[in-house]
Amino acid sequence: MDLMQCFDRMAHSVTSLCSQRLGVSKNVTDTMISTISNMRHYIRTAYGDSDSSCGSDGKILQGSIQGNAAASPMFVAITCVLLNFLESFVQGFHIQTVITLTILSIAVVMYVDDTDLLVSSKSYSESLFFLISRMQKSVKKWRKGVIQTGGALRPDKCKWFLISFKWLQGKWKYGSISEDPVRLYLRNSNGNKIEIERLEVTQGLTGLGVCIAPDGNQMDQINDFMNAKPGQEEKITQWINNVRSKYLRPHDVCLSAFRSIFKSIEYVLPATSMSETETKLIETKLYKVMLPRMGVARNISLPYRYSPKRYQGLGCLEI
């Protein structure tokens, strides 16, 4: 689930109440909210400030303003109430550990405006119909809670997976969309009912820069490594093409590698589980072009390639 305009849609009354619930003084919330409510907003560019403005004309603007250091804590205060609201209606992901018999119960995993709602079957005998009904109820309750705080959901950016298992002659496989053609729906900010896009468990879904498929395969992540999408940072293929076609000094190539493409790869690696064959595929494509452009022999011994510079190595990234 994805929230629309996040901090900009926080209703002031809700923001104040939720902040006071966590111990913030009423005078503090009133001071900040009254200041934001009475602001006049201008646009500043290299050519000067705009003559026209918005705000303080009888129509009070909501939200906490981008860049406000208090925006994130106030948003957390609101989501604490939202999570309690949802958990009072829906039982989410519920499982018991094998050895200690500890019960793990999670309804939501949330990172700012990106939210994962989790629902699992209550028992082995629960039918798919009741499971989907509970999931649909979870979606409706979450939307209802979000709207009451001034927020809204974006159905076009919402996705969902159904992880189910099919057994045949003692062997299992993941169920596909064609085998379980069930649907979930969500109403947009205009109240129109829209079907939420469902993905196969073999498809990767990008979140926070990492592309992960529920079945654990890494193919979409590898493809995401290789090919940059419009508006995103340069990925391996695009970076290689730029290095190959542009006039760059060896030092420039080295600087770009260590401060750009290596950082993009390093960020994702802790959340992946690629095989040695898959990592070698990425390394081969990267270093085949990078090393010669740095003025280094392409077939240099691996210890020299990966060893730290204090041991006379290049200190390259070992994937």
Q: Which of 285, 283, 270 is nearest to 209 (CA)?
A: 270
**Domain shared by 143 and 249, yes or no:** no
Mark whether 196 and 216 lie in a shared domain: no
Burial 98-137 (b: 16+ CB within 10 A, else e): eeeeeeeeebbebeebebbbebbeeeeeeeeeebbebbbe
Beta strands at 197-198 and 159-160: parallel, antiparallel or unpaired: parallel
Tally of domains within the chain: 2
Is residue 86, in this structure, part of any structural domain at all? yes
pLDDT in tens, 224-254: 878 766 656 568 888 888 888 888 899 999 9
249 and 158 in one domain?
no
Our CA dihedral for 252, 258, 262, 267, rounded to 10 degrees, sits at: -130
Range of the domain at 298: 210-311
65 and 181 within one domain: yes
Say yes or no: 188 and 221 in one domain.
no
46, part of any domain: no
Question: Quick one: 193 and 161 in the same domain?
Answer: yes
* Residue 318 domain-assigned (yes or no): no
Cα distances from 47 to residues 43, 50, 170, in angstroms, run 10, 9, 72
Pair (151, 240) in one structural domain: no
Residues 230 and 180 both lie in one domain? no
Kindly state whether residue 1 falls inside one of the protein's structural domains: no
Q: Give the domain-ending residue among 153, 170, 201.
A: 201
Q: How far apart are CA 104 and CA 100, in angstroms?
A: 11
The answer for residues whose C-beta is within 8 angstroms of residue 61's C-beta and 6 or more apart is 36, 37, 39, 41, 54, 55
Which of 178, 201, 224 marks a domain boundary? 201
pLDDT score at 271? 86
β-pair type (185-187, 108-111): unpaired
Q: 0.85 cut: is pTM over it?
A: no
286 with 176, same domain?
Answer: no
Structural tokens at position 188: 């947009």
- The answer to whether 199 touches 205, Cβ cutoff 8 Å, is yes
Unique residue bearing structure tokens 């802790």:
270
Instruction: For the chain, list residues with pLDDT below 70.
Output: 56, 58, 228-234
| Residue 47 within a domain | no
Does residue 237 sit in the same domain as residue 177? Answer: no
17: exposed, middle or buried (Cβ count in 10 Å: 0-12, 13-18, 19+): middle
| pLDDT for 285 | 87
Backbone angles phi, psi at 45, to 5 degrees: -125, -175
Residue 48 lies in a domain: no
Does a structural domain hold residue 284?
A: yes
Residue 316 maps to a domain? no
Q: Give the per-residue pLDDT at 77.
A: 92
